[in-house]
Structure 1
Amino acid sequence: MPAPTPSSDTTDRIAALLDRHPVWDGHNDLAWEAREQAGYDWSALDIEAGTAGRTHTDIARLRAGGVGAQFWSVYAPSDLPGSAAVTATLEQIDAVRRMVETWPDTFALTLTADDVEKAWAAGRIASLMGAEGGQSIDSSLGTLRMLYGLGVRYLTLTHNHNNPWADSATDQPSAHGGLSEFGVEVVREMNRLGMLVDLSHVSVATMDAALDVTEAPVMFSHSSARAVCNVPRNVPDDVLARLRGNGGLCMVTFVPAFVTPDIGSWRADAAEAARARGVDPSNYTAFRAFTEQWEADHPVPPTSLEDVVAHIEHVRDVAGIDHVGLGGDYDGASGFAPGLDDVSGYPNLLAALADRGWSDDDLAKLASGNMLRVLRGAERVAARLAAERPPGTARFDRN
C-alpha cells in the first residue's frame, strides 16, 4: 500500500514544526551496520557522500527527516560471553564517537538535556548512545559506571536472551521473576547515575519489577503496543498505563513484525520453522539469514504507515500524550512501510497524524518534547540520589 500523500499545507506545517521541535529518535543501529559492512571504517561507509541502498541512515536523509537528536545503539549480541560483550560494546561506543568526530559540523556528542538543546541551537544533530542489553556490563556495576562515563545514557536491561540478572521477552522464563536482587541494584545504580532504564526487549515481569524499583522515568526505546500487535516485544496496556505515574514513555517502533499483526504471525511461523532446522530465533544474525531464505517461499504480508499510526494513537490513548515518542529501529530491521522506508520518513508520519487532528503541541511532544522531559527527569533524580547514597558495590557472583 503506498504511503498517503499529504497536502502542501500539511507539508509546510510539519516542516515549520520540525524547525522548532526536531525528531528525537530512540534507537538506530547504524553503528552495527558500520561494523558489519565496513569494519567501522567511516571512509568506506561515507554517510556524508550518501549510503542509499546500503543503510537506512545517512546525513542527507537525517536532515530530510527532521532528525535533531538520535540515540545511537551501541549494541552487542546477547549470546556473546560477558567479556566479549563488553569489548564489542566499547568498539560500538568508539565507532559512534569517531562518527561524531568525522562530521563535527553535523553531529554533536551530547550527554545532557541541556547539551541536546545547545546542539539544536547550533544546527547539529544531538548524538547520544544507548547500550542494547545488560550483557554489555558483564554483571558489574563498575562496568556500568564506566559506560556512563563514556557517554552511554540508557541501558536496555536485556536483549533477546536472559542475562544473569534480568529476563528477556524472547527467552524462556527464568528464576529471576523479572529482576534478581542484583538486577534491582543495577536499576538503583542507573537511577543514581542518571542513566535511563530502557525496558524494550524485556519480559513483562521485568517491566513491572523495574517500574517497582525505579525512582526515575523509564523508557521503551523501540517498542509498540501489544494490544494492537500481540507479539512479546510489545508493551501490554497495564504497563503502558503505569507510565502515567512513572513519567516515562514508550517510543513506538516501526519494525513491521511489531506493528503489523499479519507480519507478527508470519514471523512467529518463521521462528517455528527456524527452530525445526536448528536455528535459534533469538540469535539475531542467524535468524535474519534464515528468514531471508524462508521469505522466498513465504512472502511477507504488506505493512503500512497507518499501522504505525495505530500504535502511536493507542499508546497516546492508554498512557497519555506525555508518554509517547518515536523509536524507528532503522538499520536494525528491514521491510519498513512505504513512506517510512528510511530516516527521511518522519515528516510523512507526522503529516499523517496532523491530518488525523493532532495539534502542533501534541506533535511537538511526540517528536522530541517528551524525551527531553524524561531525560531531565532522570537528571533531577540523579542529582538528588548522588547526595543521598554512595555508588553501589553489589557484584554478581559468577561462581
Structure 2
Amino acid sequence: MKQLLWISVALALSGNVSAQTKTYTASDKAIKLAQSMILVDGHIDVPYRLQEKWVDVTKATADGDFDYPRAKAGGLNAPFMSIYIPASLDSSAQSTALAHQLIDYVEAIVGRAPEKFAIAKTVADVEAQFAKGLISLPMGMENGSPIQGSLDNLRQFYQRGIRYITLAHSMSNHISDSSYDLRRKWKGLSPFGKQLVPEMNKLGIMVDISHVSDAAFYQAIELSSAPVIASHSSLRSFTPGFERNMDDDMLKALAANGGVIMINFGSTFVDQQSRAWRTKLSAQRDIVKQQHGEDSAEFKDYEAKYRQAAPFPYANVDTVIEHIEHVVKLVGIDHVGLGSDYDGVGDSLPVGLKDVSSYPNLVQGLLDKGYSEADIDKILGKNLLRVWRQVEQVAAQSKSKV
C-alpha cells in the first residue's frame, strides 16, 4: 500500500506534460543576435567533468553539455569555467591541490586549441578575444575551501586567473555558512570570511553569493565595496522554501549594491513542480535506504523505478524567462544575467535548453516577450561585464592608495 501511495504522489508531481512536449525553434534573427553579442555564462562545470572523465572539448563530444562546436552554434563566447571543489574536501590540502589541477585542465583546453580558446583574466581580454573570434575562458572558483585561510593562496589563485569565488558550497566551510547546511556554524560569514571579502575587493575578485546562507549574503553585501554576483542562482518566489535561491528582499539588496543575479537553468531551480519531484524522491529514497541498506538491490534500483513510475517534470525555456522577467520587473534590466550550470545539473536541464547550443532559443523567447536588442545584450553579457569592470576599478583604486 505504501508503495502504491508514493507512486501515485509521484505521478501527480510529474504532470508537466506541456513543458516536456513543447518544442523550440529559434529564428535566424535570434541565432544572429546570440552569435553577434558577447554571451557570458556565469557557471559551466567543464573542469570537474574532465576530472571525472577526460574528453577533448575542443572538438565535438558525445556527451556532456559543452564543447567547441556547440558553443559556437549557440553563440557562447565567454563561459566562466567553474573550478568546483566538493564540500567533502573542505579543510584539507586536497581541496587546494584539486583547484590547481582543475585550472590546469582549463589551460590544457587552450593549449590544445589556441585558435579556438583563450584564458580571460580581464574584461579587456574578453572584448579583445571576442573581436578575434575566440571563446574566452574566464574562471570562477565554486567553494572557497582551497583558500585554506591563507591570503597567500587567495593571491596565487588570482594570479592563475580566478575572477570570482563562491564563498561556500553545500556545507559551511572556513569562510561562510551554506544555504544547504542547517548547522549555521558562523551565523553568516566566519571571522576569516569577513576579512576575505575586502581582500577580494582589493585584488579584483568578484564575490559570489550563490550557495551561501541568507545571513552570509547580507554580511557580504555590507562588507563589499564592489558589486557582488550570484553566479548561478534562481528565484525563491518560484521555489518557496528553497534557500539556495534568492528571495525578493535579497534581489533588492543585490540591485542596490549594483550586482547581478545569473539565472540557473536547472529545472529544480526554476520550477516548483520539478523541485517537489526531487524532494519527494530524496525523502522516499532515504526511507528505502534505512529499511534495506545502501548496498541493497532495493536501494540501488529505487531511482530508476521511481523515474519509470513518475517521469521527471522538466521546466522549459519559458520557465527560465519567467525568472528573468521577475528580476527585470522587480529591480530592473541591469541586474540579471545567465548562469546555466551546464555540466553541473545533470539531466535536469529544461526542454529547449539542453546544452550550450541552445542559447538562441532563450533569445527567441526574449524577442517574443518584446525585449529590445539592447536589453537582450545586457542579459546575455553586458550586465556581468559591467560588474566585473567595476570590480576591476575598485581594485585599481585600492592599489593606487598603497
Q: Which of these residues, 73, 93, 99, is aligned with residue 83 of structure 1?
A: 93
Corresponding residue for 2:131?
121
**2:309 pairs with 1:300:** no
**2:45 pairs with 1:29:** yes
Provide the rounded CA distance (Å) in 2 between the counterparts of 1:154 and 1:194. 9
Match of 1:100, SS state, is: helix
Corresponding residue for 1:136?
146
Provide the rounded CA distance (Å) in 1 between the counterparts of 2:303 and 2:332. 36
Corresponding residue for 1:249?
260
Give unpaired runs (5+ residues) of structure 2: 1-19, 291-298
The structural deviation recorded for 1:101 is 1.1
The structural deviation recorded for 1:270 is 2.8
Provide the rounded CA distance (Å) in 1 between the counterparts of 2:196 and 2:282. 31
Provide the rounded CA distance (Å) in 1 between the counterparts of 2:264 and 2:377. 18
Tell whether the 8 Å contact from 2:166 to 2:211 is kept in structure 1 after alignment.
yes
Provide the rounded CA distance (Å) in 1 between the counterparts of 2:158 and 2:263. 25
Provide the rounded CA distance (Å) in 1 between the counterparts of 2:136 and 2:393. 20
Q: Deviations over 1:157-195 (max 9, x none)?
A: 001110023110101132412112211111011000000
Report the CA distance shift for 1:309/1:95 in structure 2 as closer, same or farther (over 3 A).
same
The structural deviation recorded for 1:21 is 1.3
**2:397 pairs with 1:384:** yes
Deviates more, 1:352-361 or 1:169-178: 169-178
Q: Deviations over 1:221-250 (max 9, x none)?
A: 110011122222111110111122211100
Match of 1:169, SS state, is: coil
Q: Which of these residues, 183, 191, 195, is aligned with residue 173 of structure 1?
A: 183
Tell whether the 8 Å contact from 1:74 to 1:129 is kept in structure 2 after alignment.
yes
**1:309-320, aligned counterparts within 5 Å?**
309-320=321-332
Q: Which of these residues, 237, 244, 247, is aligned with residue 233 of structure 1?
A: 244
Tell whether the 8 Å contact from 1:148 to 1:193 is kept in structure 2 after alignment.
yes
Tell whether the 8 Å contact from 1:82 to 1:137 is kept in structure 2 after alignment.
no
Match of 1:154, SS state, is: strand
Provide the rounded CA distance (Å) in 2 between the counterparts of 1:289 and 1:50. 32
Corresponding residue for 2:83?
74
- Shift >6 Å, 4+ stretches: 287-290
Provide the rounded CA distance (Å) in 2 between the counterparts of 1:245 and 1:302. 33
Query: Partner amino acid for 2:316?
Result: S
Report the aligned-residue RMSD. 2.0
Provide the rounded CA distance (Å) in 2 between the counterparts of 1:236 and 1:126. 32
Report the CA distance shift for 1:348/1:161 in structure 2 as closer, same or farther (over 3 A).
same
Deviates more, 1:24-33 or 1:334-343: 334-343
Corresponding residue for 1:352?
365
The structural deviation recorded for 1:292 is 6.0
Provide the rounded CA distance (Å) in 2 between the counterparts of 1:86 and 1:290. 36
Provide the rounded CA distance (Å) in 2 between the counterparts of 1:77 and 1:325. 25
Tell whether the 8 Å contact from 2:58 to 2:116 is kept in structure 1 after alignment.
no
Report the CA distance shift for 1:293/1:47 in structure 2 as closer, same or farther (over 3 A).
farther
Corresponding residue for 2:192?
182
Report the CA distance shift for 1:266/1:342 in structure 2 as closer, same or farther (over 3 A).
same
Match of 1:79, SS state, is: helix
Tell whether the 8 Å contact from 1:340 to 1:348 is kept in structure 2 after alignment.
yes
**2:74 pairs with 1:65:** yes
Q: Deviations over 1:239-283 (max 9, x none)?
A: 1111222111000010111011111112222333454437xxxxx
Corresponding residue for 2:279?
268
Provide the rounded CA distance (Å) in 2 between the counterparts of 1:117 and 1:241. 29
In proportion to residue count, which structure has more helix? Answer: 2
The structural deviation recorded for 1:309 is 1.0
Report the TM-score when normalising by structure 1: 0.88
Corresponding residue for 2:11?
none
Q: Kindly name which structure, 1 or 2, has the bigger radius of gyration based on alpha carbons.
A: 2
Report the TM-score when normalising by structure 2: 0.88
Provide the rounded CA distance (Å) in 2 between the counterparts of 1:5 and 1:76. 35
The structural deviation recorded for 1:293 is 6.9
Provide the rounded CA distance (Å) in 2 between the counterparts of 1:23 and 1:301. 28
Corresponding residue for 1:41?
none
Report the CA distance shift for 1:58/1:19 in structure 2 as closer, same or farther (over 3 A).
closer
Provide the rounded CA distance (Å) in 1 between the counterparts of 2:283 and 2:188. 25
Tell whether the 8 Å contact from 2:209 to 2:229 is kept in structure 1 after alignment.
yes
**1:313-332, aligned counterparts within 5 Å?**
313-332=325-344
Identical residues among aligned pairs (%): 38
The structural deviation recorded for 1:291 is 5.3
Q: Which of these residues, 296, 321, 342, is aligned with residue 355 of structure 2?
A: 342
Query: Partner amino acid for 1:75?
Result: Y
Match of 1:97, SS state, is: helix
Report the number of matched residues.
371
Q: Which of these residues, 114, 117, 130, is aligned with residue 107 of structure 1?
A: 117
Tell whether the 8 Å contact from 2:328 to 2:336 is kept in structure 1 after alignment.
yes
The structural deviation recorded for 1:3 is 4.3
Provide the rounded CA distance (Å) in 2 between the counterparts of 1:23 and 1:366. 9
